[in-house]
Every structure is written in C-alpha cells, then in structure tokens.
Structure 1
Amino acid sequence: MTLAFTICSINYLAQARTLGDSLRQTNPDWKYVIGLVDKLDAAALPPELIPAYPMLEVDRIEIEDFAGMCDRYDITELNTAVKPFYIDYFFRNEPEAAEVIYFDPDIIVYQPLTRLKNHLGEYNLVLTPHICRPIDDGLIPNELNHLNTGTYNLGFIGLRKSEESNRFVQWWKKRLVHECRIDLCNGLFVDQHWVNFAPIYYDRVWIEKHPGYNAAYWNLHERTFSEKDGRWVVNDSYDLQFFHYSGYGVHKPEEVSKYQNRYTFPDRPDIVPLFRLYHQRLIDNLNETYRRYPCYYIKPPKVLYYQSVRKALKSPLNKLISAFENR
C-alpha cells in the first residue's frame, strides 16, 4: 500500500482537499491523509467543512518539545518542521505502507504516479531539484535564489520504508526541532537546505529530473505545457505528473506566483488553463471560508510582541538597568 499525505492548518484545507481530490481521481488505490497542524475541537468546524479524507492532528503523533517548536516557529516554519515527524509516525503505525509520499497541499496530481512507484521499489528516497537547466536572465528566482533556498524542493519527497530511509528521517527530525527557520543569513530556509545532505549521507537516493514532476514557477523556463487527447504534456513529450502551484493566491488571480517576476499569464498562455482549473477547484473547495480560521498553535502578533517584551525585561542587563533607574 502507498500512503500519501500533506500537512496544513485549517486555513489551507481547501488546498489539501484539492490535492486529495486529484489523488483520488488518478491514484485511487493510495491512502491519503491530511496532517493537521491545528485543533479541530477548538475550531468546531461545521459538517460542510470537514474533508472527506482522514485528518491526523499533530498532537496525536507525540512530538517531543512540540510546545517549544510552537513558540519558536511561525505558521510556515511549524507546518514544515513537523514533516519528518509525520513520516516517522507513518513508518511506525502504518505497517501496510511500503511507501510514504509527501506533497505540499498546493499541488494537483495529473497522472497515475507509476514511475514514482517504480523508483521507490528500487531507491530509498526520491527528490526533485528546483531546476535542471541553468538560468541567467537576472529575474527571480535565479540560481542565487536557489542557493539560498536549497537545491531540492521539499514540497515533495518520496520514501520507501527501509532501514536507510528511517535513518534519514531520524537525522532530519533532530535538525528540524530547532533549525527549521527562514533565516537566510544563517543558511536556513525551513527544511530544504538540510536535504542537500541526503544524497551524500544516505544510499539509494534518486534525483528525479523528469520534467513532469514538481512543475512550478521556479522551473517554467525549462518547461512548456500542452493538452493532448485529454492529458497534459510537458515539452511535447512527457506526461505532466504533478504541478505545484506555490505562491498562487485566489485573491490575486493575475499573478503566477507571489515569489517570482519572470512570467505573467500573457507571457505564458500555455499555463493559463492549468491555473484556471486550480483557481476554480479552490473556490469549489471553500477556500474563502477556510482562510478565516487562525491556527490554534500560532499566537497572534500582539501576543508575540508582549512575550518578546517580557523576555527582554527578564534579561540580566535590563534587570540591572531597571534596578539603577529605581534606586
């Protein structure tokens, strides 16, 4: 059995449902789970907002020092940091799962992922690079940006259940407890830089360069899209496996992604139908309603501000200053 999962808070459940719908259509024999970094009882979702897919709340997977991670991380960092912990949970608690595959929620799967299954029969890990061809037009993202954010895009990772992949997961877990921050000056971009080490430290890692895998704004310079006989094709020769709509927002439908300035939709009419489809599916899956729910585990900015002030006031220097001023 193959287990696919995503991770999100309630505000991203429209994306998670859209991903699940695409997997149910293309890979119906797979089990799909939504890892929920949120509290369902606190949100009290009405029935129409409960997805038709199992949700595994993060407090059920027994992450040591999860409270500390909530204090350290923002919502993006926290949702990313728990990824190897979910993989570890599935390795231990889903004995029938021979493969565990992670997808970011903002992905649509377009084909049966037969090639991926075949590679996971032979390799321990499957990773996709951000880009496979050089780019030097000075626009964003460029090679320097990818040096800052990591060689591989961790919106996808496939793992075969094996001793070697388990060693990788245990190593990755340790790194993400404290070091899953967006801190480019210190060489960190959530979980992605850590996985640069995976092909070095661990055996049987497949680097997937098939242009139909993890197509996204960062690799559009090397990929064009067309529809042939009811299926989507990349570069006229390869079936589109899955498209990653990273940075696309329903409220700015004219933007390919908020993270790039290389292409507009008039520049790339080939991708317009792909984005129209995604836009409509998010609306159909109640995106506007889910967006209103704050994440239970992330404190609002005002609370974070007062916490930082209290922490500063407790420092030895501030205690000394306070004592001097009040002498």
Structure 2
Amino acid sequence: MTLAFTICSINYLAQARTLGDSLRQTNPSYQYIIGLVDKLSDANLPAELIPAYPMIEVDKIGIPDFAAMCDRYDITELNTAVKPFFIDYFYQSYPEATEVIYFDPDIIVFQPLEELNEALTTYSLVLTPHTCSPTPDWERPNEQHHLNTGIFNLGFIGLRNDATARKFVNWWKDRLVYECRIDLCEGLFVDQHWVNFAPVYFDNVLIDHHLGYNVAYWNLHERYFSKNEAGQWQVTSLDEHAGQSADVNEGEPLQFFHYSGYHPERPNEISKYQTRFSFGDSTPQKKQRPDVKPLFDLYRERLIANHNDQYRTYPCIYIKPPVVLRYLRVRKLLKTPFNRVIALLESR
C-alpha cells in the first residue's frame, strides 16, 4: 500500500483538499492523509469545511517536547519541521505502507504516478532538484537563490519503508528539532538544506530529473506546456534562446505541478517568489508564458470551490505572534552558555 500525505494548518485546507481530490482521481489506490498542524476542537469548523479525507493532528503523533518547537518556529518552519516526524509515525502506525510519499498541499497531481511507484520498488528515497539545467539570467530565482534554499525541493519526497529510509528519517528528525529555521546567514532554509546531504550520507537515493515532476516557478525556464490530442498536459524541454518549445508531441506527461507562492486573489501573478515570467498580459518587462496560464486558472477554480476564502481566516493555534516569537528567540540566545555565544560571534 502506498500512503501519500501532506502537512498544513487549517488556513491551507483548501490546498490540501485540492491535492487530495487530484490524487483520488489519478491514483485512487493511494491512502491519502492530511497531517494537521492545528486543533480541530479549537477551530470548530462548520460541516462544509470538514475535508472528506482522514486528518491526523500533530499533537497525536508523539513528538517529544512539541510545545518547545512551537515556541521556536513560525508557521512555515513548524509545518516543515514536523515532516519527518509524520513519516516516522506512518512507518510505525501503518506497517502495511510499503511506500510513503509527501506532497506539499499546494500541488495538483495530473497522472497516475506509475514511474514513481516503480522507482520506489528499487530506491529508498526519491528526490527532485529545483532545476535540471542552468538558470538563464539573474532574475529570481537563479542559481544563487537555490544555493540559499537547497538543491532539492522538499515539497515532494518519496520513501520506501526500508532500513535506509528509516535511518534517513531519524537523522532528519534530529536536525529539524532545533534547526528548521529560515536563517540564511546560518545556512538554514527550513528542512531543505539538510537534504543536500542525503545522496552523500545514504545509499540508494534517486535524484529524478523527470520534466513532469515537481514543476513550479523555479523550473519554468526549462519547461514548456501543451495539451496532446487526448487533452492531457504535456511537458517539453524549453529552448530559452529560441523562445519556443520542441515538438510538443514528443513531450512527457505532466505528473504534478507545484503552485508555490500562488494566491487566487492575485490571479495574474505566477508566484510571489519569482520575477522572470508573466502570463503575457500586463508585465511586458517579463518573459511571456501564456502556455502556463491555463494550469493556474484551473488551480484557482479548484481552490475557490474548496472554500479557500473561508479557510484563510483561521489562525494556527500553535503559532505565536511575530513579536512574541522574536522575543522567545532572543531569550533562547541569552540563555545560551557564554562560551557558546563567543564561539558563534567568532565564527561570523
């Protein structure tokens, strides 16, 4: 059995439902679970906002001293820090799950993931790099940004339930208890930088270059989108110099698209994190990508249908206000032994 899961707080349940709907349509044999970094009892959601998918609240999976993690992290850091803890929980609680696949909630799966399923019969881990070819300019994101955020995008990871993957998960857990911060000066960007070590420390890791996997704003410079005669989305390699694609009939099926940084209230913006492309309407200084706009129109429609506006009003029960979080982080530094502070300062 393959167990697929995501992690979010209540404010992102529209995305989690949209992901689940796509998995139910394309990979109905998967067991899909939402890992909820929130408390349903406090939210008291109306019936129409209860997803039709199993949800496991984070306080039920036995993370040691979880309250202290809540004190350390903001909402992005916390939702990423608990990822390996959920994977370990699934290993322990669902021994029939021979594979565990994590997807960020802001993903749509478009195809049966047959090649991924086949890879996980052989490999312990499957990772996808942010890009498979050099970025063409210094617009955001470029290779320097990827050095800051990690070679691999951890909006997706596939794992077998084997000894190597379990060893990796335990190692990852140890790092994310304290060091899942967004702190570029300290070489940290949530859970991602740590996984740069995975192909070095662990055997049997597949770095998958499939053009249809984990497609997002960070790799649009190398991928072009079209529909084949059957109406299915295809991805082909984009020739940046010519500004056009190869023969679209020779493309690979789009497997899953990652809508990172997209907001349905800004429907003409590909992502708040990028400056390279636009859909081709009102920003002529950017490269025009009308080929990708229908994919975003589809996502917007599905988010709205899944009550995105209502979910966004729910604050996460575990997250401290920014002023309080900054205070707690300062207090943590003040409690650090004096010799450790001196070593930190000397290392800068």
For the aligned pair, the TM-score class normalised by the smaller chain equals: over 0.9
Tell me, in whole angstroms, the C-alpha distance in 2 between the residues paired with 1:112 and 1:314.
Answer: 51
User: Which amino acid in the other structure matches residue 119 of structure 2?
Assistant: H
In structure 2, the residue matched to 1:108 is 108
Tell me, in whole angstroms, the C-alpha distance in 2 between the residues paired with 1:315 and 1:112.
Answer: 50
* 8 Å CA contact 1:136, 1:143 repeated in 2: no
Tell me, in whole angstroms, the C-alpha distance in 1 between the residues paired with 2:334 and 2:179.
Answer: 26
Tell me, in whole angstroms, the C-alpha distance in 2 between the residues paired with 1:130 and 1:142.
Answer: 10
Tell me, in whole angstroms, the C-alpha distance in 1 between the residues paired with 2:190 and 2:135.
Answer: 24
* Shift, 1:200, TM fit: 0.6
User: Which amino acid in the other structure matches residue 75 of structure 1?
Assistant: I
Tell me, in whole angstroms, the C-alpha distance in 1 between the residues paired with 2:167 and 2:337.
Answer: 41
* Shift, 1:307, TM fit: 5.6
**What SS does structure 1 have at the residue aligned with 2:277?**
coil
Tell me, in whole angstroms, the C-alpha distance in 2 between the residues paired with 1:316 and 1:123.
Answer: 43
CA shift in 2, pair 1:68/1:308, >3 Å: closer
Superposed CA RMSD: 1.8
CA shift in 2, pair 1:219/1:17, >3 Å: same
Tell me, in whole angstroms, the C-alpha distance in 2 between the residues paired with 1:134 and 1:313.
Answer: 42
User: Which amino acid in the other structure matches residue 233 of structure 2?
Assistant: W
* Shift, 1:123, TM fit: 0.3
Structure 1 residue 231 corresponds to structure 2 residue 232: yes
Tell me, in whole angstroms, the C-alpha distance in 2 between the residues paired with 1:222 and 1:57.
Answer: 38
* 8 Å CA contact 1:108, 1:242 repeated in 2: yes
Q: After superposition, what is the alpha-carbon deviation per residue over 1:112-169, rounded to whole angstroms, capped at 9, x for unaligned?
A: 0000000000000000000000113111100010011000000000000000100000
In structure 2, the residue matched to 1:72 is 72
Tell me, in whole angstroms, the C-alpha distance in 1 between the residues paired with 2:92 and 2:169.
Answer: 12
* Shift, 1:96, TM fit: 1.0
Equivalent residues in 2 for 1:215-294 (5 A)? 215-228=215-228, 229-235=230-236, 236=248, 237-266=251-280, 267-294=288-315
In structure 2, the residue matched to 1:191 is 191
Equivalent residues in 2 for 1:104-143 (5 A)? 104-143=104-143
* Shift, 1:172, TM fit: 0.2
Tell me, in whole angstroms, the C-alpha distance in 2 between the residues paired with 1:292 and 1:220.
Answer: 31
* Shift, 1:297, TM fit: 0.2
User: Which piece of structure 1 moves more, 2-11 or 303-312?
Assistant: 303-312
Q: After superposition, what is the alpha-carbon deviation per residue over 1:253-290, rounded to whole angstroms, capped at 9, x for unaligned?
A: 11100000000010101101100000010000000000
* Shift, 1:55, TM fit: 0.3
In structure 1, the residue matched to 2:240 is none
* 8 Å CA contact 1:168, 1:198 repeated in 2: yes
* Shift, 1:309, TM fit: 8.5
State the percentage of identical aligned residues.
Answer: 69
Tell me, in whole angstroms, the C-alpha distance in 2 between the residues paired with 1:157 and 1:182.
Answer: 20
Tell me, in whole angstroms, the C-alpha distance in 1 between the residues paired with 2:308 and 2:34.
Answer: 16
CA shift in 2, pair 1:118/1:309, >3 Å: closer
Tell me, in whole angstroms, the C-alpha distance in 2 between the residues paired with 1:206 and 1:20.
Answer: 25
Tell me, in whole angstroms, the C-alpha distance in 2 between the residues paired with 1:249 and 1:46.
Answer: 24
Structure 1 segments (4+ residues) deviating >2 Å: 300-317
**What SS does structure 2 have at the residue aligned with 1:178?**
coil
In structure 1, the residue matched to 2:213 is 213
For structure 1, which runs of at least 5 residues remain unmatched after alignment? 318-327
TM-score normalised according to structure 1 size: 0.94
* Shift, 1:301, TM fit: 3.2
In structure 1, the residue matched to 2:97 is 97
TM-score normalised according to structure 2 size: 0.88
CA shift in 2, pair 1:144/1:111, >3 Å: same
Tell me, in whole angstroms, the C-alpha distance in 1 between the residues paired with 2:269 and 2:334.
Answer: 44
In structure 1, the residue matched to 2:179 is 179
Tell me, in whole angstroms, the C-alpha distance in 2 between the residues paired with 1:86 and 1:240.
Answer: 27
Aligned residues: 317
Q: After superposition, what is the alpha-carbon deviation per residue over 1:189-210, rounded to whole angstroms, capped at 9, x for unaligned?
A: 0000100010111111000001
Tell me, in whole angstroms, the C-alpha distance in 2 between the residues paired with 1:137 and 1:316.
Answer: 45
**What SS does structure 2 have at the residue aligned with 1:90?**
helix
Equivalent residues in 2 for 1:138-153 (5 A)? 138-153=138-153
For structure 2, which runs of at least 5 residues remain unmatched after alignment? 237-247, 281-287, 339-348
**What SS does structure 2 have at the residue aligned with 1:3?**
strand
In structure 2, the residue matched to 1:296 is 317
* Shift, 1:310, TM fit: 7.9
User: Which amino acid in the other structure matches residue 291 of structure 1?
Assistant: R
* 8 Å CA contact 2:2, 2:98 repeated in 1: yes
CA shift in 2, pair 1:263/1:93, >3 Å: same
User: Which amino acid in the other structure matches residue 8 of structure 2?
Assistant: C
**What SS does structure 1 have at the residue aligned with 2:157?**
strand
In structure 2, the residue matched to 1:155 is 155
Tell me, in whole angstroms, the C-alpha distance in 2 between the residues paired with 1:312 and 1:173.
Answer: 22
CA shift in 2, pair 1:315/1:155, >3 Å: closer
